[in-house]
């Protein structure tokens, strides 16, 4: 479980959802929560009203260990600075604004994902996490995404691990020996990860052969998870080897809460 959750808030409805999710996790784990608001300019007239609005939101969470942090400066850089300085082990953000003229490629969210010292949770819902899905390949970051998701789930929740053996749709099943070998490796990986997971968690898994995007979308539709966990393969570059542009697509149009771990 996280010890210190940092949630960035910009007074938007999306940020309110992120705060609700962060507060739920804090109550579940007994962790400390810091609510951060960053203004791009020096705090000036109206800052008392701003502080009051944020304090009211924080008080409504009814948390024993919570603090409000107000800062000014470039938003992404200041969020990252506070995540490092406060030693947060989970950073919670709301979804980007759909009407932003900047476009997703330039948003605060993407810049933070590239450099965050902690796993990043993009929170878009507030219902309990009963079902979670993790895209699991053989990379360390995918395994970390699985373990992080498992630590955030309550006992009795179900975590489903999906591994995709990418092949062109017309050639799916053309090489049964290769698929059997891949399946054997995946079973071994799941067995290793299962031994590391907390008790009370239901872990299921499957391997599918086909195009990554189609396979993931199909499983999302079947499983209907409240949380999707993804690995990010390198500093400054999202997991192209795992899901390619689909990772970015899941962040542009999140099907549920999305957890990204390096």
The reported pLDDT for the residue numbered 103 is: 36
124: pLDDT strictly greater than 70: yes
Reported confidence tier of residue 1, pLDDT bands at 50, 70, 90: confident
Give me the chain's average pLDDT, please.
86
**Nearest-5° Cα angle at 58, 57 to 59:** 95
Instruction: Report how far residue 136's alpha carbon sits from residue 239's, in angstroms, rounded to the nearest whole number.
Output: 12
Q: At what angle do helices 140-152 and 176-196 cross, to 10 degrees?
A: 50
Reported confidence tier of residue 172, pLDDT bands at 50, 70, 90:
low
What is the reported pLDDT for 105?
45
Tell me phi and psi for residue 204, to 5 degrees: -120, 165
The residues, ordered by sequence, that sit 6+ positions from 187 with a Cβ below 8 Å of its Cβ are none
Q: How far apart (Å, rounded) are the C-alpha atoms in residues 251 and 242?
A: 15
Q: Can you read off the two tokens belonging to residue 47?
A: 């800052």
Share of the chain above pLDDT 90, in %: 62
Scan for tokens 């390198």, then name that residue: 234
**Bridge partners, residue 227, by sequence:** 132, 257
- Please, which residues have CB within 8 angstroms of residue 93's CB and are 6 or more apart in sequence? 7, 8, 15, 18, 108, 109, 112, 120, 121, 122, 123
- Give CA–CA dist 27/207, Å, rounded: 35
20-51, pLDDT tens digit by residue? 999 999 999 999 999 999 987 665 545 788 99
Question: Would you say 159 and 167 are in contact if contact means Cβ atoms under 8 Å apart?
Answer: no
- pLDDT over threshold 60, residue 171: no
Decide if 213 contacts 168 (C-beta within 8 A).
Answer: no
Question: Which domains, ranges and CATH numbers included, belong to the chain?
Answer: 4-123 (3.40.50.620), 131-261 (3.40.50.620)
133-153 pLDDT, tens digit per residue, is: 999 999 898 999 999 999 999
Distance CA 55, CA 63 (A): 12
Q: Strand 4-8 vs strand 90-94: parallel, antiparallel, or unpaired? A: parallel
pLDDT single digits (tens) 90-107:
999 998 655 443 333 456
Q: What is the pTM assigned to this prediction?
A: 0.88
Asked if residue 220 lies in contact with residue 160, where contact means CB atoms within 8 angstroms, the answer is no
Higher pLDDT, 109 or 213: 213
* Phi, psi at 120, each rounded to 5°: -110, 130
User: Which whole number is the average pLDDT over 191-212?
Assistant: 91
């Amino acid at each position: 479980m996280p010890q210190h959750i940092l949630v960035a808030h910009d007074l938007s409805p999306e940020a309110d959802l992120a705060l609700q999710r962060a507060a739920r996790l804090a109550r579940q784990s007994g962790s400390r929560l810091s609510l951060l608001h960053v203004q791009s300019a020096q705090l000036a007239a109206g800052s008392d009203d701003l502080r009051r609005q944020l304090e009211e939101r924080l008080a409504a969470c009814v948390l024993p260990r919570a603090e409000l942090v107000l800062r000014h400066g470039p938003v992404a850089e200041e969020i990252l600075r506070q995540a490092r300085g406060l030693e947060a082990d989970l950073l919670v953000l709301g979804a980007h604004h759909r009407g932003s003229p900047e476009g997703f490629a330039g948003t605060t969210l993407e810049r933070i994902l590239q450099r965050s010292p902690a796993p990043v949770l993009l929170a878009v819902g507030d219902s309990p996490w009963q079902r979670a899905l993790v895209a699991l390949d053989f990379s360390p970051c995918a395994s970390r995404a699985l373990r992080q998701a498992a630590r955030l789930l309550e006992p009795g929740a179900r975590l489903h691990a999906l591994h995709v053996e990418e092949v062109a749709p017309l050639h799916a099943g053309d090489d049964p020996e290769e698929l059997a070998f891949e399946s054997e490796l995946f079973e071994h990986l799941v067995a290793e990860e299962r031994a590391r997971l907390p008790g009370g968690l239901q872990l299921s898994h499957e391997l599918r052969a086909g195009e990554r995007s189609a396979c993931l979308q199909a499983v999302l539709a079947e499983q209907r998870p409240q949380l999707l966990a993804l690995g990010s393969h390198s500093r400054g570059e999202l997991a192209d080897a795992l899901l390619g542009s689909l990772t970015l697509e899941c962040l542009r149009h999140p099907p549920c809460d999305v957890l990204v771990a390096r």
